[in-house]
Structures are given as structure tokens and as C-alpha cells.
Structure 1
Amino acid sequence: MGMQSVAVACGALALCLALSTATNPGFVVRMTQAGLDYARQQGMAILEKELAQLKLPDISGKSRKVRYEFSRLRITSFHLPHSQITPISNVGLQVSISNAFAELDGDWRVKFLFIRDHGSFNLKIENAYMKIVLRLGSDTTGKPTISTSECSASISKVRVRFSGKLGRLYNLFHRVIESKLRKSLERKVCDNVAKSVHNELQKQVRTLPVTARIDDKIGIDYSLVAPPRATAQSLDLNLKGEFYSLAHRTTVPFSPLPLAFPSDHERMVYFGASSYFFNTAGIAYHKAGALVFEIPEDMIPKKAGFSLDTSVFSAFIPQLEEMYPNMSMKFRLSTPTAPFLTIGPGGISFQPIVDAQAYAILPNSSLAPLFLLSLTGNVSAVINVRSGRIVGSLDVGRIRLSLKDSAVGHFQVQGLQSIMNFLTSRVILPHLNARLDEGFPLPVLDRIQLSNILVRFHQNFLLLGADVRFQPRG
């Protein structure tokens, strides 16, 4: 094999290794052009206020024997009426501002031979243009970063009006002073843009949560797995999207699949929550021991028409009446394995397996194991977004029973079907749905409100769309 062939083979191997180690996101946030335009509008409003507070240095010099000094330069208004934002691949975003105009005033003082004069002046800037390139990246913690990688400003027209008795003296140096004012403004505008990006925009984008605490046992990892990716029509944030146990984080035994994100542009922002995202929730809660649920007798609704005791169950298991007569019972439900769901165009579905261990409560309050049932059934989910959180509810069809173990002898589990259906639908599901109604936080910036929610199901992921509204500080 020649050296060229070896080089090609090594290059191909390196490419394969790079592709094999690439990390697919478990959660994707996409900002469309409509969302970027809204962010631009909010940014222009902030930038106008920042530029209106621009401080310019005093200017002094000599031109054609005229000594001049301009001081107390104050910008009274700065307007950015026309702007455009464009994603730039592998860089970030470009903001173009045209036809900007501003007005400032200040004091002047001149000396020409034996003539001295002073007064105030007004300066108008017209047809100013700015180009700002924002570089997007991520730090070692997975938080997004933003910085100004390029800024240019040009002012095509400056008009100065003086008060006082300058007259012909002004004509001797007005070109020089207008040029100096123009250059000072152009430089200061870009300095202020960089400062505003660092102090305001960078601070805001870093409010994107890297982790979100769900409760005292579980958190969500929303760290970036790669820098934000700009395309021709959108800006994508690829996030890890993984639930984890706060007590002991372990490696998930499977990887997220690629998300075939649709080219929807109806909303300002879209969230793609993969099946990996939801399944890591099941793993985290299972490992944390949070998928254990007890049903004592006092949880049975009074309208149920039966009590949770051995006298009721002895109708189906006769030996209970002899072994544990007239004793209260309780069930402990747990999952032998973490539940695993699938997402397709038809929605979310899964078939969890639940172990239901029945106990008799002895007079000394100790528990005597009676029998262990395995419960399974088709479960479907309804998903929505409320107050920036994913919320949902579950529904279960007819459950299937099988006997896994028994300390009271063999019996036919079909007799327990109606009781277990009742416990599932009237006790377990309301408890689970109350928790799901609290929801899980979406990765959104501070002071962002979502509205006009859209929910769609795709292969291997759930697509949530929304319009956004920024709430400024009061």
C-alpha cells in the first residue's frame, strides 16, 4: 500500500471514529427566523437605550489658526429604525442596522487671533449603518456563550449647528470637526455594542438552565452537547436532555437517536423532546426508588363499595379466611424494571410492568406477604405545555394480571380483575397524574413566556411549538 493510500485510509478511519463518537442530542431547541426577528426587536430596543447614554470624550485641536474645544458632548436620542438578523453557519448571527439617526448637543469654545467665542451646538447624525457579528459558543459547563466577533459602524452624514457668533469662523474648520465627531462616534458605538453584548446579552443567554432540579430526588441535564448551530433559516441548540438521580448519577445504557426535525416555521421556537429524554426519566426515578407506591386501606374511596381487607379477597382466595381472618390489607406497587416508552406519529405509548405485592396487616402491625401479582397494560399519554413546563396525563386500558408468587396457595387471578382495575384507575392514576400535572421545566431563558402552543408527534420525538414574549423587569 502506497503512502497516499495509507493517508486516505487513515483519514477515513478518523472520520468514522469522529462520526461514531458524535453525541446526538436528547433535546433540541430551535429558534426560527420569526423568533430571531422577535429577539432582534427586543435587542434593538435595549441597544437604543444603551446608545442614548453613550459618553463621548471632549474634542480639541487647531485648524487654520483656529483653536477649538468641544466639551460636555451628550447624546439626546439614538434611533435604529431598520435592522435585520441573519444566521451565519459555523459562526452565529449577523445583525445589520441601516438608516440609523441620532442627535447630540454640547458646548464649544474657539480662539482665532484675538477673537474668542463660545456657545452650544447641536449635531444630527443621518444614514448611519452598523454591522454586528455575534459569535455563539458554549463553555465547559455546557452553558451558551455569546460575544461580538465583528463590529463596524459608518456615518454618512453629520450636520452641526452652532449658537453664537461663529459665522465665517465655523466654515474654517467645520469639515475637520465633523470628521472627528464622526470617527469618535463610530468608534464609541462599536465599543458600546461590545459592552452591551457582554453586560446584557451574555448575561441573559446564560440564564438558560444547564440543570433543572425537579424534586429532592431527580434533576434534568440541559447542557449543550455542541455549540449553537446556525442554519440558513434557524438557530439550533442541541442539549443533552437527560434526567438523572441527584443521589447517584449513572450512565444511561442507551444513546439518543438522531431527530429528523421538520422544517416547521409557524412558531417562534420549537422544542424537540426525544424518546431518550422521557426514558431517562423512567430510569432516574426507578434508580432513585421513586417508582414505589403503597395503597393502604384508607386510600380506598368510600364510594368504592368494598374495603381493602382479607374478608373481601377471601371470596376469590378462600384460604385467606382461614389463614388471616378479617385483617386489613395493603398493596405495595413497584416496577421491576424502568418503564420504556415509544413515540410515533400516533402519540406516546408504553406497556409498563408493575409488581403488586399484597400484605395482610397483623395485629402487631407487622406485614405478612400474601401474593405477588404482575400487572401490565397499554398506557397512553396526553402532553401539553403550561407556564413553561411540560405537563401531561396518563390513561390506561384494561390491565392484564398474572400470579408471580403466592404465600397462600394457588388461585385464579381473573377474580381479582375488577378490583385491580379499580385500584389502577381510581387510586394509582390520579396520584401519577397529579404529579405529571406539576410538570417538568422546559429550557427557556428568564422572563420568557410561551403562548400559542403546538403539540405534534414524530418518530422518536415529541415536537412542541410556541410563540415567545419577553417580560422586561418592572
Structure 2
Amino acid sequence: MGAQSLAMACGALALCLALTGAANPGVVVRITQAGLDYAHQQAITILEKELAQLKLKDISGDSRIRHVGKVHYEISRLSLRSFHLPHSRISLVPGVGLQVSISNAFAEVDGNWRVKLLFIRDHGSFHLKVENVYIKVNLKLSSNGSGKPTISSSNCNTRISRVRVRFSGRLGWLYNLFHSTIESRFRKLLESKVCEVVASSVRKNLQPYLQTLPVTARIDATAGIDYSLVAPPTATAQSLDVDLKGEFFSLAHRSAVPFSPPPLALPPDHDRMVYFGVSSYFFNTAGFTYQAAGALVFEITDSLIPKGFDFHLNTTTFSAFIPQLDKMYPDMPMKLRLSAPSAPFLSIGPKGLSLRPVVDIQAYAILPNSSLVPLFLLSLTGNVSAVVDVKSGHVAGSLQVGRMKLSLKHSDVGTFQVRMLQSIMNIFSSSILLPNLNERLNQGFPLPLPDRIQLSNILVRFYQNFLLLGADVQYQPR
């Protein structure tokens, strides 16, 4: 390969790497130490119950005691009465994931014993206390091919500092002579079993629960949201960050979005358990998806005019502003078809959310045979601000319209003064269009939450190019 070919190949490779690695998330979920502590409490409760159900196998062997001889013993019907984890903590390990450390755990075991010494045989019961149990396990976080988070345990270590066993029965004194042998075997048995239970609990409980995090969320018949992970979760010294695609898509035909998400850098806030950084990209993919699907269309007829208004949507009303309508189409009902010629673009800044939508208003006369005759086409632009709220795990909103500007794009009924229509169009927009839009926006869209999680103590803040939602969480068991 020549130098030029090599340079071109290296350049192409660099470009491919840049394209594949440069995608910014549309949504970032940040779990703070407080959030991890809460999740840890729930998980420890489950682990404690599973350890209390630990099954231990029988133990048997021979032990030689000075001045007594060889003793054959059997320990059977081992029953773990309790396993308590009073002190534990979860910590972030940058670049790795999470680490759970448990200290001063303790357990109690009951069982039966049987002994054979020369011609002597006896049996009885025993009680064993396991104290100062230390457990340390790393939790590795990643993602699978479908974009869902995964978790697995690694580097599990269990250390038991103290085991005390007491035997009852006629020859209980004999067992107490070689208790160190029995205690050593119990210690090794429990140390290996505890890590097995921890790994099993992660597989059976944590991993399936993480799978309840929605990768996609259906919004309506037109669109859904892609919440798949774009990278494995990242642990830092302060938090666990999960980067999500955060993109609306058409259910009928998914196409590439013609713009990219901006960088999203969350502030170092840690007052809440979880934070959601929602990029302007997320909202703008919604506008793109609905506009491309032809869903940003709204038709107004006379039946939609609220009661109490002293006019009707017909050519008689509009002839006050366009006199020629009375001659061309006398006393005929009208229809206004509002549509977005381009996707609305929302901006987020420290002062809030705003957008300047462009709306085409096509006016029709409805003939006696119900056919439509185009009258004129107007363009409406205005300043719109948005109010955001979080309800039951959904982000809801409402729009407030500011100053609007009307212009004529085309007329089939001759020239007329557009400014004369400004007031009546304001009424149509504020009294009919806006309430319908806000009714839909009030339904909101779901945040990416795993099963049975409720949000509380919610805050909403605005930053350049993204909206920050903070909340505490509560797990609702079945």
C-alpha cells in the first residue's frame, strides 16, 4: 500500500471512529450517592432474606484428639436460623462500577451431631454463632445489544472472623475438645456459600429488575421514544451516569433525524436521588417526528367555536375584513386548516423554554355539495413559551402564546389587508388551537423509570440547551 493510500485509509478510519463515538445523548440519567444508598437498602433487605434461606450440606470427618484417639463425627440437618447484615454501604468505583461492602454481619445455625469413638456412640444437637462476617463484592455495569443496562457480580470475597459452636448431649464435652476443627470447616463452608448467594441474588433479582427499564415508550398512534443506552453506565467519584438516546421516532417509518444532539453537561447537584438531563434535541425530535408524519395539522370549523362568541366561522363574518367574499361565496360556512410547514424548533436557556413556530392557515369556503374552495393562505408566527411539570413519572407541559404576526402567502379572492384579520386569528389561536394543544401536552411523556418507582420532591431547572429535572425516588413493592 502506497503512502497516499495509507493516509486515505487512516483518514477514513479516523472519520468512522469520530462518527461512531461522537454521538451525544438526548437524555442523561444521573443517580447520586443518595439514590444509590436508597437502592442499596432495598437490595440488602432482599439479600438478607436470601442468606437466611441458605442451605448448608452435612459435614463429616475424623479428628484425632490427644490421649483420646480418633473420633468420627457427623454434623447434619443444618438449619440457618438467621443472617443479619446490620452494617453495609455502596460506593462508586470510577471506571468500574459499584462496590458493596458489608461488615459485622452475623448468623446463627442449629443442627444435629453424631459421634463415634471406639465403642462409644452418641448424638445430640448443637448451636453455632457466626460473627464478624465481612463481604465485599464488585458490581459491573454494562449494556446489552438491545440497549438495556446489565449488571453482574465480580471479585466477591467473604471473610468470617469468628465462629463459636456449642454442643449439647452426653458427650458434648468431647466435641468441645476439637471444636476448632469443626469451626474451621463451618467457616470455609459459609465463606464459599455466601458469595454463591450474592451472585445468585444479582442474577435473579437485580438483573431482571434492571430489564424493566423501558428501551422504548409508545406515546400514541404516531410516535414513540427511544430510551436505549448509547454507552455503558459510567461511574464517577460522585454519581452514576447513564446516557440514553432520548429520541422520538415514527411508529410507521423510522427515519434519521437531520440534526444532532448538543453536548449535555449536568451541573454538580446532589440534593436529589436522581436527575434527568433532557436535551433540547429530545423535544425537537418530537417536533420533527410529528411534522414528518403529517400529525401537526388542526382543522377549525364553526362547531369548534366556543359558546358565548358572537360570531361564526363563515364568509359573512370574514366579509367584514374581505368584502369580496360576500359576493363570491355569500353566507357559506368556512374551514381553517392549520399546519406546520416545517418542524417547530424549541430552544432551552436559563430563562426557560421557548419556540417560534410557523403555522400556515389555509382558509376554505364549504360549498353546498360539501366540496372545499380555497380562499387564502396565511402565515402565522409568534413567540411561545412553555411551562413544564412532572406528574406521576411523566413530563407534562403547557404553552403560552405571546405576540403573533400574520402575513399573507397567497390569495384566491384578491388582495385585502391582513392586519384586519389579526384580532380574529388571535381568538382562534388562543381560544381553540391552544387549549387543544395544551390538553395533549398535559398528558405528557413518560420518563425512563424502572418498574414500581415513584418520584417525589421534584425540582425543575433550565440550563443552556437542556432541562434539568431532579427528584427523590420511592420503590413501591407489590
Shorter-chain TM range is over 0.9
Q: C-alpha displacement at 1:10, in angstroms?
A: 10
Are residues 1:125 and 2:124 paired? no
Letter aligned with residue 459 of structure 1 = Q
Are residues 1:469 and 2:474 paired? yes
Q: C-alpha displacement at 1:115, in angstroms?
A: 1.5
- What residue number does 1:158 align with? 163
Q: Is residue 380–residue 407 contact of structure 2 (8 Å, CA) maintained in 1? A: yes
Matches of 1:290 and 1:20, distance apart in 2: 31
Matches of 1:80 and 1:108, distance apart in 2: 28
- What residue number does 2:95 align with? 90
Letter aligned with residue 47 of structure 1 = L
Letter aligned with residue 279 of structure 2 = S
Name the TM-score, length of structure 2 as normaliser. Answer: 0.95
Q: Is residue 101–residue 124 contact of structure 1 (8 Å, CA) maintained in 2? A: yes
Aligned pairs for 1:102-117 within 5 A: 102-117=107-122
Matches of 1:13 and 1:111, distance apart in 2: 79
Please, which of 168, 175, 180 is the counterpart of residue 170 of structure 1? 175
Q: C-alpha displacement at 1:124, in angstroms?
A: 1.0
- What residue number does 1:43 align with? 43
Are residues 1:219 and 2:224 paired? yes
Letter aligned with residue 178 of structure 2 = F
Aligned pairs for 1:5-20 within 5 A: 18-20=17-19
What SS does the aligned partner of 2:369 have?
Answer: coil
Aligned pairs for 1:243-254 within 5 A: 243-254=248-259
| Gaps in structure 2 of 5+ consecutive residues | 65-69
Aligned pairs for 1:294-305 within 5 A: 294-305=299-310
Letter aligned with residue 407 of structure 1 = D
- What residue number does 1:311 align with? 316
Q: Is residue 302–residue 333 contact of structure 2 (8 Å, CA) maintained in 1? A: yes
Q: C-alpha displacement at 1:167, in angstroms?
A: 3.3
Q: C-alpha displacement at 1:17, in angstroms?
A: 5.7
Q: C-alpha displacement at 1:12, in angstroms?
A: 10
Matches of 2:446 and 2:460, distance apart in 1: 16
What SS does the aligned partner of 2:178 have?
Answer: helix
Q: C-alpha displacement at 1:21, in angstroms?
A: 3.3
Q: C-alpha displacement at 1:20, in angstroms?
A: 4.8
Q: Is residue 66–residue 173 contact of structure 1 (8 Å, CA) maintained in 2? A: no
Matches of 2:234 and 2:91, distance apart in 1: 13
Are residues 1:63 and 2:59 paired? no
Q: C-alpha displacement at 1:140, in angstroms?
A: 0.8
Q: Is residue 166–residue 176 contact of structure 2 (8 Å, CA) maintained in 1? A: no
What SS does the aligned partner of 1:136 have?
Answer: strand
Please, which of 232, 238, 244 is the counterpart of residue 239 of structure 1? 244
Report the CA distance shift for 1:10/1:80 in structure 2 as closer, same or farther (over 3 A): farther
Matches of 2:270 and 2:250, distance apart in 1: 36
- What residue number does 1:445 align with? 450
| Gaps in structure 1 of 5+ consecutive residues | none
- What residue number does 2:67 align with? none
Please, which of 309, 323, 327 is the counterpart of residue 322 of structure 1? 327
Matches of 1:15 and 1:48, distance apart in 2: 50
Question: Identity across aligned pairs (percent)?
Answer: 69
Letter aligned with residue 55 of structure 2 = K
List 4+ stretches of structure 1 deviating above 2 A. Answer: 7-21
What SS does the aligned partner of 2:181 have?
Answer: helix
Q: Name whichever of 159-168 and 353-362 sits farther off.
A: 159-168
Q: C-alpha displacement at 1:168, in angstroms?
A: 2.9
Letter aligned with residue 62 of structure 2 = K
Q: Is residue 34–residue 268 contact of structure 1 (8 Å, CA) maintained in 2? A: yes
Q: Is residue 143–residue 208 contact of structure 1 (8 Å, CA) maintained in 2? A: yes
Please, which of 100, 104, 116 is the counterpart of residue 99 of structure 1? 104
**Aligned Cα RMSD in Å?**
1.8
Matches of 1:361 and 1:118, distance apart in 2: 101
- What residue number does 2:433 align with? 428
Q: Is residue 100–residue 126 contact of structure 1 (8 Å, CA) maintained in 2? A: yes
Report the CA distance shift for 1:50/1:334 in structure 2 as closer, same or farther (over 3 A): same
Matches of 1:107 and 1:292, distance apart in 2: 79
Are residues 1:136 and 2:135 paired? no
- What residue number does 1:255 align with? 260
What SS does the aligned partner of 1:224 have?
Answer: coil
- What residue number does 1:374 align with? 379
Report the CA distance shift for 1:118/1:15 in structure 2 as closer, same or farther (over 3 A): farther
Q: Is residue 63–residue 172 contact of structure 1 (8 Å, CA) maintained in 2? A: no
Q: Deviations over 1:403-445 (max 9, x none)?
A: 1111111111111111111111111111111111111000011
Name the TM-score, length of structure 1 as normaliser. Answer: 0.96
Letter aligned with residue 224 of structure 1 = L
